[in-house]
Amino acid sequence: MRFLIIGLGSMGKRRIRNLKSLGQVDIAGYDPREDRRTEASEKFGILSFPDFNQALQCFKPDVFIISTPPDLHMHYAYLGLENEISCFIEASVMDAEKIRDLGKLNRKSKTVIVPSCTMRYFHGPKKVKELLRLGTIGKVLNVNYQTGQYLPDWHPWEDIEDFYVSKREMGGAREIVPFELTWLNDIFGAATPISCFKSKLTSLDVDIDDIYHFMLRYDDNVIANITIEVISQPVAVRELRILGSKGQLTFSGEKNTVRIITSGMLSWEEIQLDTGTCARNSINPEEPYIAEMTDFIAAVESKDADLFPNSLESDYEVLQILNSLEKLSEVK
């Protein structure tokens, strides 16, 4: 199988590492930036192309790994469909209608085109889902969740103005909302937006909202209070607390623990999660990304997109929630 990595920034390089760890060797890259092509070629020993059409014609890929900024995701995904090339798409934050239409068109094809859902593979969300499915704390009643990391700390090696997250439509906290909803919705079900506040609280010299605070009503009348921001410093935050009819459950990304306490217990039970292996300049372990890529490759080999846990239809639904939240935020 021949993989073309479209976009050789931080995520593109991560995907190359993932593929190599899985024994894939037919990998090439495309990026218009010479510095990124040079780095990828020297670091990973791959061919890298300055021209997309040249990459398509010379390398003849079977698979696109689309790791560009979000505003280019659909451009390359539609080219993949047109050329019967399977596609893995990084998390999207825009072009909801194009995603919906691509899903409809792709149903008529055996080409596997799926969007990323990496957080579902992290040990914390997996353990939370497992414990809730077992009924450990009874019926879920209320969810409180906050996640964030100071935006300039995302890519400390480059100016924030050169990073796509400094642009309003793709930027700041807005990009993270669908990334997080993809795994939260998987656990709690269909979500109905109730309210939303979004704003810029910092003095960062970029035109973005750096915090989204909103409420959702999930299936079975579960109320969720969610804060997604890019202002937490000096350390990133990821804290979840779930209240149930028989107890409570917490997940701490900083401590990498899940804790539970139920009726009759005198103290919390703490579960220490596997920390995994982090690459240089990364706070996230490689293993969830490798597991995600494993499932994607299995889906491509079987020509069955249902073997992958996320879909274009689900991505569209998540973006519809984001759009509804933003409309609610405009109501005074």
Average pLDDT over residues 59-67: 98
CATH topology of 3-117+289-310 equal to that of 120-281+317-329? no
pLDDT, one tens digit per residue, over 113-131 is 999 999 999 999 999 999 9
**In the predicted structure, residue 166 carries a pLDDT above the cut 80:** no
Q: Please give the C-alpha separations between residue 124 and each of 118, 185, 273, in angstroms, as whole numbers.
A: 12, 15, 7
User: What confidence score (pLDDT) does residue 110 get?
Assistant: 84
**Residue predicted with more confidence, 207 or 76:** 76
Domain spans, the chain: 3-117+289-310, 120-281+317-329
Average pLDDT over residues 66-72: 96
Tell me the three state secondary structure of residue 135: coil
Domain 3-117+289-310 in CATH 3.40.50.2300? The answer is no
The reported pTM is 0.94
Tell me the three state secondary structure of residue 203: coil
Instruction: List, in sequence order, every residue forming a beta bridge with 66; answer none if it has no partner.
Output: 6, 89
Domain 120-281+317-329 in CATH 3.20.20.140? The answer is no
Q: Please give the C-alpha separations between residue 231 and each of 177, 201, 307, in angstroms, as whole numbers.
A: 14, 8, 37
User: What confidence score (pLDDT) does residue 319 get?
Assistant: 97
User: What confidence score (pLDDT) does residue 281 get?
Assistant: 66
